[in-house]
Chains A and B, each alone.
Chain A
Amino acid sequence: MATERPHLAVIGAGPAGLAASLAAAAHGVRVTLIDSAAGAGGQFYRRPPAGLGARRPEALHHRWRTWRRLGDALAARVEAGTIRHLADHHVWCVEPVERAELVVHALLGPLQEEPVTVRADAVLLATGGYEKVLPFPGWTLPGVVTAGGAQAMLKGGLVVPGQRAVVAGTGPLLLPVATGLAAAGVEVAALVESADPKAFLRRPVALAAHPAKVAEGVRYGARLLRHHVKVLPRHTVVAAHGEQRLDAVTVAALDTHGRVGPGTERRIACDTLAVGHGMLAHIDLAESLGCRIDGLNVAVDEEQRTDVPGVWAAGETTGIGGAALSLAEGHIAGRSAAARLTGTRPDPHTWARAARSRRRAREFFAALDTVYAPPAHWTDQVTDETVVCRCEEVTAGAVRKAVDELGAGDVRTVKLLTRAGMGWCQGRMCEPAVAGLAGCEQTPARRLLARPVPLGVLARAGDPEDD
């Protein structure tokens, strides 16, 4: 292509990546949008594949109109050649090569064997987040799925995961999951939430500033009522039961200290348990680039720039905050990148609306964070026999032994001494649990490869002959 437009590679086609791509493409930049999923949309706008013949996909989606607008705009840009969309591309690393050039290394398709490289003048990381799940006895039984997994099965494949479900854990995601399951005809026996969402109502300032969110909450409440979903606040799942697969769970009430109240246990029959304890950001690519990490999120400035030249980040990779925040951050990042790549001065006044909605969404999620939390003493329920790291089959007992007897004091040393986190998922799943059991903070894991890479591909990565 003989175009002289500067080239931005956007990794992740969720709300943040989409908003960023559209904003950048509208301001003089050629964009390559790279995503591992088969279609654009990310976690939020996950759609049933066209072939499945869903009659009313919008029934499973909120803000269907926003998605239609983004999707149509993307299609138009792709048609016009200003955005190239690479679906089914799994990025395993971004390599800064020379001054002002970066190479995105990806693996193609479901097998992730064939290498693809994209050279760009700048890179925007919009890799979103993934679900956090804490262990409890029985959590490895078939029939126990993540909340997002259940949602994805509904949204993506229109598969009804089970006949009778319990939704449990903590966080605002449980609401759409429970209502989504119920709307799809699953009997939702209970929504078990360890926090007390009513505590949120006692924060009038946060609420007053966000009438739309309050309305959303009320809507979910109404839907739960309509589907006769029993909500159990300040409750937790203490165990899942079943021989071959899940057939029941035991739930119990939590006291004010976050401990299970003796004698409050009761059994609920179900064949599906959807659990989730919040979300964590995907920061692997940023870490291998050497970007500064703030807590467990990529650190960015007002323009969504990381501290590595030519690298922007937007959406949940910079902190969990919902789709509206991702859209706002993506827009700002796309505008800033476009301005800087085309040599114009970025003017924050031109994105004041997005900046305002970013500020409000951040405030709102900061308030949510103070309410939603796993029970303070969740590790009490985790028996020594409970498997914590599923890939390497490391039990809670082994983790406790490494801490109490061998001098491990953080997630990394527990991993070294027990192999927890050394398997296929590289600790993405078990790190929060290990940190909880070890009684330490979870810290960035320094996963320098975002995906497993065949050595043959690695051996030739960046070889000019392969471009």
Chain B
Amino acid sequence: MVGAACALYAARSGLDVTLVDRGPVAGGTTGAGEGNLLVSDKEPGPELDLALLSGRLWADLAEELGEAFEYEAKGGVVVAATPEGLTALETFAAGQRAAGVEAVPVAADQLHTLEPHLAPGLTGAVHYPQDTQVMPALAAAHLVRASGARLLTGRTVTEVLRTADGAVRGVRTDRGDLHAPVVVNAAGTWGAEVAALAGVFLPVLPRRGFVLVTEPLPRRVRHKVYAADYVADVASDSAALGTSPVVEGTAAGPILIGASRERVGFDRSLSLPAVRALAAGATRLFPFLTDVRALRTYLGFRPYMPDHLPAIGPDPRVPGLFHACGHEGAGIGLATGTGRLIAQVVAGRTPDLDLTPFRPDRFPKEAG
């Protein structure tokens, strides 16, 4: 997704772009996650700024292509089950409002007007109209197509080519060399490996997530609904499993329930505790789901960085090398902003946001 967005904005700023992937389009984490474009789960700071910028860009793109990638501005609802939970949530929302987020408190007695099938007895909620959604694989494919970039799938980058003075001059692939003065590393969870090909250290690690998909149903869940403890979980440093499911209906009918978070390397076997927790959380929020069947569960590996911020911008260690990876559980949402910022700095223009927090060389090598 991130590579597709970089290609789109770079091509639109007049650059000649080639997009290389060892797999097909959306074959990485983009095809294994969900497409929530959330502002609701982000605390004020650089990530929220990037999310707000990205949200505006997604809305612009949706005017051209929204139907093709199933853009839906449905809004999010974060619910609290206890008075303490609600107080914490409202304090969090107040901070977000100050940073430019629309966050509307919802009293307990109005909750069921917003979401008729929610469980009884919840304390209250906050409604985030700016939370939206896309279908990630379709979004990536249509952004690539709209960019007009040369698309080379099934090609693995095996080397970053450098000039005598160390600057980038292209990449070597298993099917020939590609020459370019600028190389953008948008390899997601595998970004550390590509960085290493250029001789630089970038700590991108996998963080596993499961999603549950139900049988198709007539629409009964209108927003993205999740419990307030989710927010704490995203910012967690723990390697252990943390789960607070986001429940949402899709245009095609199935309800998606996601997502768990664990750092277990690239283990692809089923973790019943993880999907059990998703099912338990979802049925607590929406009791009617108890009798609904999960048709499948799938998993992906989020590109995780130690401080939960992506690496975006030029790498001062290798002239011509740019990074756009490490977006963890928000790479779909943050892709458009990332693409725009990369296009701006590649062209030598001032980026819309200060890139300092996203500096690729902010991690001393020992930290790995």
Q: Which A residues form the contact surface with B (CB < 8 A)?
A: 93, 95, 105, 113, 288-290, 402, 405-410, 412-413, 416-417, 419, 422-424, 426, 446-449, 452-456, 458-462
Contact = CB atoms under 8 A, between A and B. Distances in A.
Contacts of B67: none
A95 B24 contact: no
Nearest to B267: A290
A231 to B, nearest CB: 41
Majority SS at the chain B contact face: mixed
B294 A288 contact: no
Most buried by A among B24, B257, B282, B292: B24
Interface in B254-298: 254, 257, 267-270, 272-273, 275-276, 279-280, 282-283, 289-298
Given A288-B269, A417-B141, A455 B296 contact: no
B293 A455 contact: yes
Given A409-B24, A412-B27, A417-B137, A452 B269 contact: no
Nearest to A392: B252
Interface in B229-259: 252, 254, 257
Contacts of B142: 406
A459 B212 CA distance: 12
Contact of B291 (A93, A417, A448, A456): A456
B27 A405 contact: no
26 contacts: A288-B270, A290-B269, A290-B270, A406-B142, A408-B24, A408-B25, A409-B25, A410-B27, A413-B25, A413-B26, A413-B27, A417-B26, A417-B138, A417-B141, A419-B252, A422-B252, A423-B295, A426-B296, A453-B294, A455-B290, A455-B293, A456-B279, A458-B275, A459-B280, A459-B290, A462-B273
Given A409-B153, A455-B212, A460-B280, 8 more contacts: A113-B291, A406-B144, A407-B144, A417-B137, A422-B213, A453-B294, A459-B282, A462-B272
A113 B154 CA distance: 43
Contacts of A426: 295-296
A447 B295 CA distance: 9
B145 interface: yes
A462 B276 contact: yes
Interface string B143-157: 011000001011000
B270 to A, nearest CB: 4
B296 A449 contact: yes
A406 B296 contact: no
Interface in B294-318: 294-299
A452 B283 contact: no
A429 to B, nearest CB: 14
A448 B296 contact: yes
A249 B157 CA distance: 50
A458 B276 contact: yes
A327 to B, nearest CB: 30
Contacts of B141: 402, 406-408, 417
A408 B24 CA distance: 5
Contacts of B177: none
